[in-house]
């Protein structure tokens, strides 16, 4: 297991380019199970994207990587095995055979988002067998809202030996009222509705920009969707999708992570390739803490906040403050001039990073879903353990800020969702290196 060695305290300057969004790319990749073909680019080179390509390959979706320049020949690389060097971020995917319909435990347990194959498989192949994703460290994360919606649309669903077994004679559109605006739930139902008979309306739909990106990628292939970007999606089913192309949106959480890095250590740090209007809740919290932004087109420049002020955030569905950003803002709160609070409303156990940050000198108490951050701490480097993707990003930021050396174990978590983070940070002036397992022994 690789680890990061970080020597903290270095300023960050220069420009960092934001990569394509993992959480937009995943549903778009799984939407190829609806049939037709898709040319997709701006896919980030991440472990979760390779897992998705590998699952799709088992489900009969073929993929070839496309060259960066249109003059070159398409590659013959098998999906999921392309190395970093050959990764262009662009693939053509198409359905090659329809016989398989099973997402096995071994893949689903490494990536819960595999549940996103359920809706398209049911809609197009009328049968799906998907390993039931278990809980994970951040919460129990049931998928009841996905299953209830599919049942209402006419699927017969049973749970059998840890698998969701579902089949249908053909999905039929209906009104779905979500009890909570679940992100992957909305995406799964949206994909199923695209080929269902008649109209489906999804009320209290998630409004995350990644849901919107999926909707546009489907519309480009002939799907009939209205209300994109709102909490009510209305879908008129079509018989089949046509070939299409889509460029995956930028990663909001990666961009946000670099903005917080800038607030901690930036010297005119520019984060490029984003749309600031989709980061308002984060930028508002950073402004309250004293950050000043200079926005030009798709770039935002930010510098270190000399004396960060305390603030409070409450995680909520979009457009609220993202749960995927609370671990990263905690180091800034730890050094702020007074007490700050984070209320986590989305997941029930998303503070695993706090104990590790406290070992670095932060003073944070957890009471249920609230983290009380005392402030005025001086962070010291330490050996810490990454426990999930965003927790790891929070620890990397704490390590960049801390005095002395921080060693972060289990960075495979961060490789799921941040493309070459250590290379990007190094280019900005950070002292961070990856120590490979073999070298570490
Ligand atoms: C998506 O997860 C993201 N994953 C998560 O990003 C993100 O943290 C989360 O949305 C919230 O923004 C992907 O997009 C692949 P939810 P998802 O369904 O869809 C409960 C990251 O670090 N719920 O919106 O799984 C659930 O338990 C990841 O990139 C039910 O009770 O989140 C949770 O408490 C982590 N029943 C809440 O809703 C259901 O059927 C929100 O979950 C579905 C969800």
Tell me, letter by letter, the H, E, C secondary structure of 231-290: CEEEEECCCCCCCEEEECCECHHHHHHHHHHHHHHEEEEEEECCCHHHCHHHHHHHHHCC
**Distance from C-alpha of 240 to C-alpha of 250, rounded to nearest angstrom:** 28
Nearest CA to ligand 1 atom 8: 324
> Among the atoms of ligand 1, which is closest to the Cα of residue 184?
19
Mean pLDDT of the chain, nearest integer: 94
Query: What is the 133 CA–ligand 1 centroid distance (Å)?
Result: 12
Tens of pLDDT, residue by residue over 13-65, are 999 999 999 999 999 999 999 998 999 999 999 999 999 999 999 999 999 99
Tens of pLDDT, residue by residue over 244-285, are 999 999 999 999 999 999 999 999 999 999 999 999 999 999
320 lines ligand 1 (CB under 6 A): no
Nearest CA to ligand 1 atom 27: 141
Instruction: Give the residue numbers annotated as catalytic, written as ranges.
Output: 136
Name residue 172's beta-bridge partners.
Answer: 197
> Among the atoms of ligand 1, which is closest to the Cα of residue 389?
22
Query: What is the 182 CA–ligand 1 centroid distance (Å)?
Result: 6
> Among the atoms of ligand 1, which is closest to the Cα of residue 347?
34
Three-state DSSP class for residue 409: strand
**Distance from C-alpha of 143 to C-alpha of 133, rounded to nearest angstrom:** 8
Query: What is the 328 CA–ligand 1 centroid distance (Å)?
Result: 18
Say whether pLDDT at 82 is over 50: no
Return the percent helix, strand and coil in the chain, to nearest 5. Answer: 35, 25, 40
142 lines ligand 1 (CB under 6 A): yes
Mutate to test the pocket of ligand 1, among 185, 323, 353 (most ligand atoms within 8 A of CB): 185
Banded pLDDT at 69 (limits 50, 70, 90): low
pTM: 0.96
414 lines ligand 1 (CB under 6 A): no
Tens of pLDDT, residue by residue over 359-412, are 999 999 999 999 999 999 999 999 999 889 999 999 999 999 999 999 999 999
Domains contained in the chain, CATH given: 3-19+250-440 (3.65.10.10), 22-247 (3.65.10.10)
Tens of pLDDT, residue by residue over 180-215, are 999 999 999 999 999 999 999 999 999 999 999 999
């Amino acid at each position: 297991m690789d680890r990061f060695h970080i020597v903290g305290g270095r300023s960050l300057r220069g420009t960092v380019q934001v990569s394509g969004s993992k959480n937009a790319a995943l549903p778009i990749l799984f939407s190829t199970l609806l049939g037709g073909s898709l040319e997709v680019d701006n896919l980030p080179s991440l472990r979760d994207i390779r897992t998705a390509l590998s699952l799709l390959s088992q489900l009969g979706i073929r993929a070839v990587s496309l060259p960066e320049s249109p003059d070159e020949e398409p590659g013959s690389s098998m999906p999921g095995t392309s190395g970093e060097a050959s990764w262009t971020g662009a693939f053509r995917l198409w359905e090659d055979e329809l016989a398989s319909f099973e997402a096995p435990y071994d893949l689903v347990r490494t990536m819960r988002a595999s549940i996103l194959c359920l809706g398209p498989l049911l809609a197009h192949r009328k049968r799906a067998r998907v390993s039931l994703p278990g809980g994970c460290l951040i919460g129990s994360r049931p998928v009841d809202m996905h299953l209830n919606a599919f049942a209402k649309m006419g699927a017969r669903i049973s749970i059998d030996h840890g698998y969701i077994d579902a089949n249908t004679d053909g999905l039929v559109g209906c009104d779905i009222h979500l009890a909570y605006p679940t992100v992957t739930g909305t995406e799964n139902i949206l994909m199923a509705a695209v080929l269902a008979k008649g109209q489906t309306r999804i009320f209290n739909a998630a409004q995350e920009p990644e849901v919107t990106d999926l909707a546009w990628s489907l519309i480009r292939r002939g799907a009939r969707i209205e209300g994109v970007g709102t909490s009510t999606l209305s879908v008129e089913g079509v018989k089949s999708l046509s070939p299409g192309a889509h460029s995956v949106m930028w990663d909001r959480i990666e961009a946000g992570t670099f903005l917080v890095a800038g607030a901690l250590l930036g010297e005119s740090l520019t984060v490029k390739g984003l749309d600031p209007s989709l980061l308002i809740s984060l930028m508002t919290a950073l402004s309250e803490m004293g950050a000043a932004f200079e926005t030009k087109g798709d770039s935002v420049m930010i510098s270190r906040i000399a004396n960060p002020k305390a603030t409070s955030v409450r995680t909520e569905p979009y457009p609220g403050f993202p749960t995927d950003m609370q671990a990263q803002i905690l180091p800034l709160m730890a050094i702020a001039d007074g007490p700050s609070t984070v209320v986590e409303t989305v997941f029930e156990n998303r503070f695993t990073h706090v104990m590790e940050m406290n070992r670095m000198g932060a003073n944070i108490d957890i009471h249920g879903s609230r983290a009380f951050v005392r402030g005025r701490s001086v962070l010291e480097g330490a050996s810490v353990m990454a426990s999930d993707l965003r927790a790891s990003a929070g620890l990397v930021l704490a390590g960049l800020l801390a005095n002395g050396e921080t060693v972060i174990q289990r960075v495979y978590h961060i490789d799921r969702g941040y493309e070459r983070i250590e290379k990007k940070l190094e280019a900005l002036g950070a002292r961070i290196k990856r120590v490979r397992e073999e070298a570490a022994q």
